Amino acid sequence: MRGKKIGDYALDSVIYICLTLMGLATLLPFANVLSKSISEEWAIVAGKVGIIPVGFQLDTMRFVVTSSQFLHALFISALVAVIGTLASLLVTAMTAYPLSKRELPGTGALIVLFIFTMMFNGGIIPNYLLIRQLDLINNLGSLILPALVSVFNMLVVKSYFESLPPSLEESAKLEGARNYTILFRIILPLSGPVLATIGLFYAVYYWNDYFNPMLYINSSSLKPLQLYLQDIVMNADTSSALSADDLMNVPAEGVRSATVIASTIPILLVYPFLQKYFIKGVLIGSVKG
């Protein structure tokens, strides 16, 4: 009996220590970069900033979040995320509803066509040439339209619709309601949780998307946040992203750190919702396979 207790104690120690270390390892880069963004310039240059700020100033942060380029990029990202998410939700639901009716002729074949695109795609270059042909280069539509329907999300919504009791629709049918009325008036109001989940999937996708903007956007007035951030992070010389009189006395390293932190904040603000709904979503996905 005693030996077992000691064993349990040792096991608990190992588990708690491992998990704590993992948590700290996750926080460490944030702590370091946050410290840099609020430390004094001389301390950053001298490499003295660890996880605790040396000195304290908010000038760098203020400079970053009030810079017109940053705010503009933030606006573009928000615009794409909001419009993209709404459009995606609408088209995803409109596609999933008919496909959830197995007896409707043609749905089986269509589902196969959709699923096939999860396994095989044209690849980067044919996609790029298509966007070019459609004259969508340097058009925010290029960030939304190619991602309008995620087949995975559509299948999640479809299986949710299939799980609703048919009696919901029957009485409306008997009163002569059309299918689209049933979808928008009866089905969608009952689909709050699943729409919230995949809405967040879409929103995070649009917000974090870096690949499509990099391919399709080169006009600086249309750059979303991720592209702007990449310019700042990758260019050792920050001046290319900031105009000359903006620069004044702001340290490049501090600006880069503060830009990374400022770009993280929008996600942090919605993180409680993300955690709640994403876990649901990921489990729906894995259960349905």
Of 270, 263, 269, 266, which Cα lies nearest the Cα of 34?
A: 263
Element (H, E) at 255: helix 252-288
* Smallest distance, other proteins to C-beta of residue 173, A: 6
Q: How many CB atoms lie within 10 A of CB 273?
A: 13
Check binding of 169 to other proteins (CB under 8 A). Answer: yes
- Residue with Cβ nearer other proteins (75 or 271): 271
- Residue with Cβ nearer other proteins (112 or 244): 112
Site string for other proteins, 91-120 (x = CB under 8 A): xx-xx-xxx-xxxxxx---x--xxx-xxxx
Judge contact between 119 and 155, C-beta under 8 A: no
* Smallest distance, other proteins to C-beta of residue 181, A: 9
| Footprint of other proteins on 182-211 (CB under 8 A) | 183, 204, 207-211
Three-state secondary structure of 78-118: HHHHHHHHHHHHHHHHHHHHHHCCCCCCCHHHHHHHHHHHH
| Footprint of other proteins on 148-167 (CB under 8 A) | 148-149, 154, 166-167
Residue type, 127: N
Segment lying near other proteins (by CB under 8 A), choices 24-32, 58-66, 67-75, 240-248: 24-32
Segment lying near other proteins (by CB under 8 A), choices 22-30, 64-72, 78-86, 238-246: 22-30
DSSP letter for 4, please.
H
The CA distance from 41 to 50, in Å, is 14
* Smallest distance, other proteins to C-beta of residue 53, A: 13
- Residue with Cβ nearer other proteins (52 or 244): 52
List, as one string, the DSSP characters of 197-222.
Answer: HHHHHHHHHHHH--HHHHHH---GGG
| Footprint of other proteins on 219-258 (CB under 8 A) | 226, 229-230, 232-234, 253, 256-257
- Residue with Cβ nearer other proteins (121 or 240): 121
Task: List, in order, residues 6 or more apart from 40 with CB less than 8 Å away.
Answer: 54, 55, 56, 57
Check binding of 79 to other proteins (CB under 8 A). Answer: no
- Residue with Cβ nearer other proteins (196 or 278): 278
